Structure 1
Amino acid sequence: MRKIMIPAALIALSACAAAGEKEIPVEQRIANAAPAVSVTARGETEPVGTVNDDAADDPAIWRNAADPKASLIIGTDKKAGIYVYGLDGAKKTFLPAGAINNIDLREGVSVNGKPSILVAASDRTDRMQAKLALFTLDPASATLTRLGTLPVGTGEAYGFCMGVVGGAMHAVVVIKPGKIVDMTLDLSGATPAIAASREMTNATLSEGCVIDDRTSQLYVSEEDVAIWRFDLTQTQPAPVRFATVDSKILVADSEGLAIASDGANGGYLIASSQGDNAFTLYRLPAGDYAGRFRIADGKFGGTSDTDGIELVQGDFGPDYPGGLFVAQDGHNAPHAQNFKLLAWDDIKAAVGVK
């Protein structure tokens, strides 16, 4: 993720071009990009504890089906650990966990024979040895309990996502610059283990990823190049170009990814078009362009330089009746970085999609 320079009028993004080329100001990137409609946030979280630094990174969402207003948001401070927030944005708990970067969760996972909410994250505390950190979430107390840490491989852990493929829990860690490690987890014993592992590769820096549990497709953002799709049902998945970083519809860096399901195999893939502070929607499964939006100033501030995003559909109470979209905000002055909360219904209405 790029650094933010203050004041806001002087926000600049680090160059995606080759060394020696001039940096393109964010204002010019916005002007050159395809139009994006404005949507405002309905809420925001408290700032992360690390100040004056690029710290907040990636969110995950747990929806409380029995009491939607009691749902939880999990967000990483990649310099310090993991926060658990309520829908009001207030911090409930914080777990010091080191340099946790990207995070994801799945509910109803059998952990040591008990149905659990599994939370996992890329752990870059050791920049030479990538690791996967595993936790369970207790929704009643909004606390995380450590399950353990698994070795992933040589290098710095960066992106992360997980999903169910063929009934097995898969965890994908993206190691800088573009090694993609897909692990099948064994959570049946007292300590977690890796049942199987395989590697795929993007040529350059990659981070954001998401697994579509419906189709077993993995989507990975190669930041300055494309969004790639990998079929995890294949023994050795080959990359298929899903969308191109073209400086119009998707502006480098291509960062966080999230999926909006239509209940079948369609819906939308949402990508953070970080280079022009926007978000791009692509129709699934084909990848047709569906629209763009920005999070603008309103009751709460807008977002810029967004890295991690997450979307969970369903009832989250009166403020988010059709689903909750959470986006990291890279510039939340005068406070530290935080996460903005939007209603999925507001985004659909603004973009003009169903």
Structure 2
Amino acid sequence: MRNIVSPLLLGSLMLSGCMTTAATVSSAPTLDLTADSETVPVGTVNRDAADDPAIWRNAADPANSLIIGTDKRAGLYVYGLDGSKKSFLPEGELNNVDLREVMIGGEKTVLVGASIRNDRANAQVGLYKLDTETAELSLLGKYPAGPGEAYGFCFGQDSGGETFAYMIEKSGFVREITLSFDGGTPAATIGREHKLATQPEGCVVDDRTGRLYVGEENAGIWLFDLNADNFVPQRFANINGSELVADVEGLALAPEGANGGYLVASSQGDNAYVLYDLITGTYVNRFRLVDGVIDGTSETDGIEVILGDFGPAYPEGLMVMQDGANEGGTQNFKLVSWSKIKAAVAP
């Protein structure tokens, strides 16, 4: 990813001190919020199955936006904002999912990508087309993503519209894959890589600034400057048993203005969600979802935030998070209005 102007000072993001052993209960004050809606459960019962969501916002008809969620034992679901199942694509073992809008064969396409784990020795990226009218996914192709077990996954786009996929391999490799769509057929080329010391998973790219954020589950959050000549990360946040409790899982962005907004992280170890300021890298606040009309969340893996109008229930944006211990036993995804979150954590 190139040619993105990035005025943030990386030095302001460097945190001092050493990583400490994570506690199971955070000592930091934590706000209690409740979910606004939830999806129907995934089809795989009595197992750790639901994992990661992505959100497509329908700008022309916000209330008919769609949520894509992985059942990491079986395939990809598409849900409506009311939580109903719209479709399911059986693809076997998928872990994380993301989407971007691209041009394929002269047609604007909602491109969905996922990390495919069917072959534990050889990672693959699955690319799919989302039909926004029928809410169905169709396979475009499966592409090699290097040796090892596919785990985390996210897309990024530079200012020229070039699209990249980032494969987070379970043993620690972070790989950049360049995608092209010449002639209407996707192609994927593996490029730069870097190995973290221990197991990573969650990742997200800020397309505005050319920054890739990766969660190393028992260490913290790393930042890769994708405009730099090297592919070496700098530490963004430590797991310290207070603000951020291991495992750090899903990552999401809530962008504001030219460069600002929040990085949101799943603090799985104490069933909470943590917000960091994207400009300064400083901790802002944290919250958890507790039982209300809808049950709360626990052991959250993947999360996603998309800002904008999603209709009356979500006027400023939507956050979706996986629930690892859904009431009733089969995992699902919870939906929360971003306006509720923002009002609570940054009044």
- Counterpart pick for 1:100 among 90, 94, 99: 94
CA contact (8 A) 2:123 2:146 kept: yes
CA offset at residue 166 of structure 1? 4.2
CA distance in 2, matches of 1:260, 1:62: 15
> Shift in Å at residue 263 of structure 1?
2.3
State the shift of 1:214 in Å: 0.3
Query: How far has the Cα of 1:195 moved from its partner?
Result: 4.1
User: Secondary structure at the residue paired with 1:170?
Assistant: strand
Measure the CA separation in 2 of the matches of 1:48 and 1:263.
36
Aligned to 1:176: 170
- Residues 318-329 of structure 1 correspond to what in structure 2 (within 5 A)? 318-329=312-323
Instruction: List gaps (5 residues or longer) in structure 2.
Output: 1-19
Asked if 1 retains the 8 angstrom alpha-carbon contact of 2:295 and 2:327, the reply is no
Distance 2:337 2:148 in 1: 37
Task: Say if 2:193 and 2:231, in contact at 8 Å, map to a contact too.
Answer: no
The Cα of 1:222 is off from its aligned counterpart by: 0.5
Asked if 2 retains the 8 angstrom alpha-carbon contact of 1:160 and 1:174, the reply is yes
Contact persistence 2:34–2:296 (CA under 8 A): yes
Q: Do residues 155 (structure 1) and 167 (structure 2) align?
A: no
Q: Which residue of 2 aligns with 1:129?
A: 122
**Partner residue of 1:12?**
none
Report the 3-state secondary structure (helix = DSSP H, G, I; strand = E; otherwise coil) of the residue aligned with 1:336. coil
* C-alpha distance in structure 2 between counterparts of 1:113 and 1:317, whole Å: 30
The 5 A counterparts of 1:17-32 are 29-30=24-25, 32=26
| Counterpart in the other structure of 1:72 | 66
How many Å separate the matches in 2 of 1:139 and 1:190? 19
Report the equivalent of 2:10: none
| Local SS of the residue matching 2:87 | strand
Instruction: Report sequence identity in percent.
Output: 57
Q: Is the CA contact 2:105–2:182 (under 8 Å) kept in the aligned structure 1?
A: yes
Q: Structure 1 residue 59: deviation in Å?
A: 0.1
The alpha carbon displacement at 1:286 in A equals 2.1
What's the RMSD between the two structures over aligned residues? Answer: 1.4
Distance 1:206 1:278 in 2: 19
SS of structure 2 residue aligned to 1:29: coil
Aligned residues: 327
Q: Deviations over 1:236-288 (max 9, x none)?
A: 22211100000100000011000011121010000000000001100012211
Deviation digits for residues 30-83 of structure 1, max 9, x if unmatched? 2x4311101111100000000000000000000111111100000000000000
1:173 and 1:29 mapped to 2: Cα distance? 29
Amino acid at match of 1:97: E
Q: Which moved more, 1:161-170 or 1:205-214?
A: 161-170
Aligned twin of 1:268: 262
Deviation, structure 1 residue 228: 0.3
* Structure 2: distance between partners of 1:95 and 1:346: 32
* 8 A contact 2:146–2:190 mirrored in 1: no
In the alignment, structure 1 residue 295 sits paired with structure 2 residue 309: no
* 2:306 corresponding residue in structure 1: 312
Query: Match for 1:250 among 235, 244, 247?
Result: 244
SS of structure 2 residue aligned to 1:348 = helix
Amino acid at match of 1:201: K
Q: CA deviation at 1:206?
A: 0.2
**AA aligned opposite 2:43:** G
1 CA distance for matches of 2:68 and 2:143?
Answer: 21
Q: Deviations over 1:168-195 (max 9, x none)?
A: 1010000112100111101223432124
Cα pair 2:70 2:94 within 8 Å, conserved:
yes
Runs of 4+ in 1 over 2 A off after TM superposition: none
Q: Does 1:187 align with 2:181?
A: yes
Letter in 2 for 1:125: N
Question: TM-score normalised to the size of structure 1?
Answer: 0.90
Q: Secondary structure at the match of 1:189?
A: helix
Residues 209-240 of structure 1, C-alpha deviations (whole Å, 9 max, x = no match): 00000001000000111100001112322211
